[in-house]
Amino acid sequence: MAWQRTIPFGYRMRQGEIVRDPTEADAVKEIFARYLQGDSMQRIAEAMEAQGIRYHERTKCWNKSMVKCVLENPHYLGDDQYPSIISEENFQAAQKRKRANNIYAPCRVSGDIREKTVCGHCGAKMIRAIKNRKTSRWECENPDCGNSIHIADEQFNVAIYTLLDTLAHTPEALAARIPIQQKQGNSAQRIANELTNALNRGAESVEYLRTLVFACAAERYNELPDSSIQYKTDKLRQRLESGESGEAIRQDLLNTAVRSIRITDPDNIALELANDQLIGKEADA
Protein backbone atom coordinates (compact mmCIF):
# COMPACT_ATOMS: atom_id res chain seq x y z
CA MET A 1 0.00 0.00 0.00
CA ALA A 2 1.29 3.54 -0.77
CA TRP A 3 2.85 5.55 2.02
CA GLN A 4 0.68 8.61 1.50
CA ARG A 5 -3.06 9.13 1.37
CA THR A 6 -4.33 10.38 -1.96
CA ILE A 7 -7.25 12.18 -0.29
CA PRO A 8 -6.89 14.12 2.99
CA PHE A 9 -8.17 12.54 6.19
CA GLY A 10 -11.84 13.45 6.62
CA TYR A 11 -12.83 12.88 2.99
CA ARG A 12 -13.52 10.04 0.58
CA MET A 13 -14.23 9.71 -3.13
CA ARG A 14 -17.80 8.90 -4.18
CA GLN A 15 -18.77 8.65 -7.85
CA GLY A 16 -15.84 10.82 -8.89
CA GLU A 17 -16.56 13.53 -6.29
CA ILE A 18 -14.79 14.23 -3.00
CA VAL A 19 -17.25 14.14 -0.09
CA ARG A 20 -17.01 14.11 3.70
CA ASP A 21 -16.35 10.76 5.32
CA PRO A 22 -18.74 10.85 8.33
CA THR A 23 -16.44 9.03 10.77
CA GLU A 24 -13.27 10.82 9.73
CA ALA A 25 -14.95 14.23 9.51
CA ASP A 26 -16.19 13.83 13.11
CA ALA A 27 -12.63 12.90 14.10
CA VAL A 28 -11.32 16.07 12.43
CA LYS A 29 -13.77 18.15 14.45
CA GLU A 30 -12.74 16.35 17.63
CA ILE A 31 -9.04 16.92 16.93
CA PHE A 32 -9.59 20.67 16.56
CA ALA A 33 -11.83 20.77 19.63
CA ARG A 34 -9.33 18.91 21.81
CA TYR A 35 -6.45 21.05 20.59
CA LEU A 36 -8.32 24.28 21.31
CA GLN A 37 -9.20 22.93 24.77
CA GLY A 38 -5.49 22.54 25.52
CA ASP A 39 -4.68 18.91 24.66
CA SER A 40 -1.21 18.27 23.22
CA MET A 41 -0.80 16.67 19.81
CA GLN A 42 0.54 13.54 21.49
CA ARG A 43 -2.54 13.24 23.74
CA ILE A 44 -4.82 13.74 20.75
CA ALA A 45 -2.95 11.03 18.82
CA GLU A 46 -3.39 8.66 21.76
CA ALA A 47 -7.12 9.47 21.92
CA MET A 48 -7.61 8.77 18.20
CA GLU A 49 -5.74 5.49 18.50
CA ALA A 50 -7.75 4.47 21.57
CA GLN A 51 -10.99 5.09 19.67
CA GLY A 52 -9.86 2.80 16.86
CA ILE A 53 -9.99 5.57 14.25
CA ARG A 54 -7.52 4.89 11.44
CA TYR A 55 -5.63 7.67 9.74
CA HIS A 56 -4.30 5.11 7.26
CA GLU A 57 -5.73 1.70 6.41
CA ARG A 58 -2.41 -0.05 6.81
CA THR A 59 -2.01 0.80 10.51
CA LYS A 60 -4.14 1.69 13.53
CA CYS A 61 -1.34 3.80 15.00
CA TRP A 62 -1.40 7.58 15.28
CA ASN A 63 1.47 10.00 15.90
CA LYS A 64 1.94 13.73 16.42
CA SER A 65 2.78 14.26 12.74
CA MET A 66 -0.64 12.93 11.72
CA VAL A 67 -2.40 15.28 14.15
CA LYS A 68 -0.25 18.18 12.96
CA CYS A 69 -1.16 17.38 9.35
CA VAL A 70 -4.86 17.56 10.22
CA LEU A 71 -4.52 20.82 12.15
CA GLU A 72 -2.65 22.53 9.29
CA ASN A 73 -4.82 21.38 6.37
CA PRO A 74 -6.70 24.38 4.86
CA HIS A 75 -8.97 22.08 2.83
CA TYR A 76 -11.11 21.68 5.96
CA LEU A 77 -12.27 25.27 5.46
CA GLY A 78 -13.87 24.23 2.17
CA ASP A 79 -12.90 25.09 -1.40
CA ASP A 80 -13.87 24.23 -4.97
CA GLN A 81 -12.86 20.59 -4.50
CA TYR A 82 -13.37 19.88 -0.78
CA PRO A 83 -16.52 20.51 1.32
CA SER A 84 -15.94 22.36 4.60
CA ILE A 85 -15.52 20.55 7.90
CA ILE A 86 -14.03 23.22 10.20
CA SER A 87 -15.11 26.83 10.67
CA GLU A 88 -12.74 29.68 9.83
CA GLU A 89 -12.81 30.76 13.49
CA ASN A 90 -11.69 27.38 14.83
CA PHE A 91 -9.08 26.87 12.12
CA GLN A 92 -7.45 30.26 12.75
CA ALA A 93 -7.61 29.73 16.52
CA ALA A 94 -5.71 26.46 16.10
CA GLN A 95 -3.06 28.15 13.95
CA LYS A 96 -2.70 30.89 16.57
CA ARG A 97 -2.12 28.32 19.31
CA LYS A 98 0.46 26.50 17.18
CA ARG A 99 2.37 29.73 16.55
CA ALA A 100 2.34 30.52 20.26
CA ASN A 101 3.85 27.10 21.02
CA ASN A 102 6.78 27.55 18.65
CA ILE A 103 9.72 29.92 18.71
CA TYR A 104 11.36 29.95 15.32
CA ALA A 105 15.00 30.84 14.80
CA PRO A 106 16.46 32.22 11.57
CA CYS A 107 17.05 29.65 8.86
CA ARG A 108 20.58 29.52 7.43
CA VAL A 109 19.81 26.98 4.72
CA SER A 110 19.12 28.46 1.29
CA GLY A 111 15.73 28.11 -0.37
CA ASP A 112 17.31 26.15 -3.24
CA ILE A 113 18.50 23.48 -0.80
CA ARG A 114 15.28 23.42 1.24
CA GLU A 115 13.19 23.00 -1.92
CA LYS A 116 15.10 19.86 -3.00
CA THR A 117 15.46 18.15 0.40
CA VAL A 118 13.46 14.91 0.71
CA CYS A 119 13.19 12.05 3.20
CA GLY A 120 15.66 9.22 2.66
CA HIS A 121 13.09 6.73 3.97
CA CYS A 122 9.92 7.48 1.98
CA GLY A 123 10.92 10.20 -0.52
CA ALA A 124 8.45 12.81 0.74
CA LYS A 125 9.50 16.43 1.17
CA MET A 126 11.42 17.31 4.34
CA ILE A 127 10.43 20.54 6.10
CA ARG A 128 12.86 22.44 8.28
CA ALA A 129 11.37 23.42 11.64
CA ILE A 130 12.76 24.76 14.90
CA LYS A 131 11.35 24.30 18.39
CA ASN A 132 13.83 26.60 20.09
CA ARG A 133 16.74 28.85 19.24
CA LYS A 134 19.40 26.16 19.72
CA THR A 135 18.25 23.07 17.81
CA SER A 136 17.15 22.97 14.18
CA ARG A 137 15.14 20.00 12.96
CA TRP A 138 13.95 18.56 9.66
CA GLU A 139 10.59 16.76 9.61
CA CYS A 140 9.15 14.50 6.93
CA GLU A 141 5.83 15.95 5.76
CA ASN A 142 4.48 12.42 5.27
CA PRO A 143 2.65 11.75 8.56
CA ASP A 144 2.82 7.99 7.98
CA CYS A 145 6.63 8.17 8.01
CA GLY A 146 7.33 10.62 10.83
CA ASN A 147 11.08 10.84 10.14
CA SER A 148 12.58 13.66 12.24
CA ILE A 149 16.25 14.66 12.01
CA HIS A 150 18.18 17.07 14.23
CA ILE A 151 21.05 18.67 12.34
CA ALA A 152 22.55 22.16 12.60
CA ASP A 153 22.20 24.40 9.56
CA GLU A 154 25.97 24.82 9.35
CA GLN A 155 26.52 21.04 9.39
CA PHE A 156 23.87 20.49 6.73
CA ASN A 157 25.27 23.23 4.48
CA VAL A 158 28.80 21.84 4.75
CA ALA A 159 27.55 18.35 3.87
CA ILE A 160 25.73 19.63 0.77
CA TYR A 161 28.64 21.80 -0.42
CA THR A 162 31.06 18.90 0.08
CA LEU A 163 28.86 16.64 -2.06
CA LEU A 164 28.57 19.32 -4.74
CA ASP A 165 32.35 19.69 -4.79
CA THR A 166 32.66 15.90 -5.11
CA LEU A 167 30.30 16.04 -8.08
CA ALA A 168 32.27 18.92 -9.61
CA HIS A 169 35.41 16.74 -9.51
CA THR A 170 33.63 13.76 -11.09
CA PRO A 171 31.96 15.17 -14.23
CA GLU A 172 31.65 11.61 -15.59
CA ALA A 173 28.77 11.17 -13.12
CA LEU A 174 26.78 13.51 -15.38
CA ALA A 175 27.43 11.44 -18.50
CA ALA A 176 24.56 9.00 -17.99
CA ARG A 177 21.48 9.98 -19.94
CA ILE A 178 18.55 11.44 -18.04
CA PRO A 179 15.52 9.13 -18.16
CA ILE A 180 12.37 10.62 -19.63
CA GLN A 181 9.94 11.06 -16.77
CA GLN A 182 6.34 12.09 -17.11
CA LYS A 183 5.41 14.83 -14.69
CA GLN A 184 2.93 13.67 -12.10
CA GLY A 185 -0.31 15.52 -11.53
CA ASN A 186 -4.02 14.95 -11.20
CA SER A 187 -5.37 18.24 -12.56
CA ALA A 188 -5.67 16.98 -16.13
CA GLN A 189 -7.39 13.78 -15.03
CA ARG A 190 -9.80 15.72 -12.82
CA ILE A 191 -10.73 18.00 -15.72
CA ALA A 192 -11.07 14.99 -18.04
CA ASN A 193 -13.45 13.37 -15.54
CA GLU A 194 -15.53 16.53 -15.40
CA LEU A 195 -15.61 16.64 -19.21
CA THR A 196 -16.85 13.03 -19.31
CA ASN A 197 -19.50 13.79 -16.71
CA ALA A 198 -20.60 16.90 -18.59
CA LEU A 199 -20.94 14.94 -21.83
CA ASN A 200 -22.95 12.27 -20.04
CA ARG A 201 -25.26 14.88 -18.55
CA GLY A 202 -25.85 16.27 -22.05
CA ALA A 203 -27.17 19.58 -20.76
CA GLU A 204 -23.98 21.64 -20.72
CA SER A 205 -23.35 24.53 -23.08
CA VAL A 206 -20.90 24.25 -25.97
CA GLU A 207 -18.85 27.05 -24.40
CA TYR A 208 -18.46 25.14 -21.14
CA LEU A 209 -17.42 21.95 -22.95
CA ARG A 210 -14.93 23.91 -25.05
CA THR A 211 -13.45 25.44 -21.88
CA LEU A 212 -12.96 21.99 -20.36
CA VAL A 213 -11.31 20.65 -23.53
CA PHE A 214 -8.80 23.50 -23.68
CA ALA A 215 -8.14 23.35 -19.93
CA CYS A 216 -7.46 19.61 -20.13
CA ALA A 217 -5.12 20.09 -23.11
CA ALA A 218 -3.21 22.81 -21.25
CA GLU A 219 -2.73 20.59 -18.20
CA ARG A 220 -1.57 17.68 -20.37
CA TYR A 221 0.98 19.98 -22.00
CA ASN A 222 2.26 21.10 -18.59
CA GLU A 223 2.82 17.44 -17.66
CA LEU A 224 5.18 16.81 -20.60
CA PRO A 225 8.81 16.01 -19.62
CA ASP A 226 11.35 18.83 -19.79
CA SER A 227 13.97 17.89 -22.40
CA SER A 228 15.99 21.04 -21.68
CA ILE A 229 17.40 19.46 -18.49
CA GLN A 230 19.48 17.04 -20.57
CA TYR A 231 20.89 19.89 -22.64
CA LYS A 232 21.76 21.96 -19.55
CA THR A 233 23.35 18.96 -17.83
CA ASP A 234 25.52 18.20 -20.88
CA LYS A 235 26.70 21.84 -20.88
CA LEU A 236 27.56 21.60 -17.18
CA ARG A 237 29.63 18.47 -17.80
CA GLN A 238 31.53 20.23 -20.58
CA ARG A 239 32.27 23.19 -18.29
CA LEU A 240 33.56 20.87 -15.57
CA GLU A 241 35.71 18.90 -18.02
CA SER A 242 37.25 22.18 -19.19
CA GLY A 243 38.38 22.86 -15.61
CA GLU A 244 35.80 25.45 -14.54
CA SER A 245 35.26 25.69 -10.78
CA GLY A 246 33.86 28.08 -8.20
CA GLU A 247 30.61 29.04 -6.56
CA ALA A 248 28.77 29.78 -9.81
CA ILE A 249 29.08 26.28 -11.25
CA ARG A 250 28.41 24.72 -7.86
CA GLN A 251 25.10 26.61 -7.77
CA ASP A 252 24.34 25.55 -11.35
CA LEU A 253 24.95 21.92 -10.39
CA LEU A 254 22.50 22.25 -7.51
CA ASN A 255 19.83 23.93 -9.63
CA THR A 256 20.12 21.73 -12.74
CA ALA A 257 21.88 18.42 -12.15
CA VAL A 258 20.49 17.64 -8.68
CA ARG A 259 16.96 16.26 -8.60
CA SER A 260 16.78 15.93 -4.82
CA ILE A 261 18.81 15.98 -1.62
CA ARG A 262 18.06 12.76 0.29
CA ILE A 263 18.58 12.90 4.06
CA THR A 264 18.03 9.77 6.15
CA ASP A 265 19.94 10.91 9.25
CA PRO A 266 22.68 13.49 9.98
CA ASP A 267 25.36 11.07 8.75
CA ASN A 268 23.46 9.77 5.72
CA ILE A 269 22.97 12.49 3.08
CA ALA A 270 23.13 12.03 -0.67
CA LEU A 271 22.49 13.93 -3.88
CA GLU A 272 20.11 12.23 -6.29
CA LEU A 273 20.97 13.46 -9.78
CA ALA A 274 18.56 13.99 -12.63
CA ASN A 275 20.10 10.95 -14.38
CA ASP A 276 19.34 8.73 -11.33
CA GLN A 277 22.98 8.66 -10.14
CA LEU A 278 23.66 9.06 -6.39
CA ILE A 279 26.47 11.08 -4.85
CA GLY A 280 26.99 10.50 -1.12
CA LYS A 281 26.53 7.92 1.63
CA GLU A 282 23.55 6.18 -0.02
CA ALA A 283 25.65 5.63 -3.11
CA ASP A 284 28.26 3.83 -0.98
CA ALA A 285 25.73 1.59 0.80
* Residue 212 CB contacts under 8 Å (≥ 6 apart), including other chains: 191, 194, 195, 198
Burial of 215 (0-12, 13-18, 19+ CB in 10 A): middle
User: If we measure between CA atoms, which residue out of 194, 279, 176, 281 comes closest to residue 237?
Assistant: 176
Q: What is the pLDDT of residue 2?
A: 41
pLDDT per residue as tens digits for the range 213-239: 888 888 776 776 556 888 889 999 999
Residue predicted with more confidence, 39 or 195 = 39
φ/ψ region of 101 (left if φ > 0, alpha if ψ in -120 to 50, else beta) reads alpha
Residue predicted with more confidence, 211 or 272 = 272
pLDDT per residue as tens digits for the range 248-266: 999 999 999 999 999 999 9
pLDDT exceeds 60 at position 18: yes
pTM for the whole structure: 0.52
Pick from 86-95, 147-156, 202-211: least confident:
202-211
pLDDT exceeds 70 at position 284: no
Q: Which regions of 10-166 does DSSP assign to beta strands (E)? A: 11-14, 17-20, 117-119, 126-130, 136-140, 148-150
Spell out the domains of the chain, with CATH numbers in brackets.
11-100 (3.90.1750.20), 111-179+227-284 (no CATH), 187-222 (no CATH)
% of the chain residues with pLDDT over 90:
59
- Whether the Cβ atoms of residue 279 and residue 163 lie closer than 8 Å to each other: yes
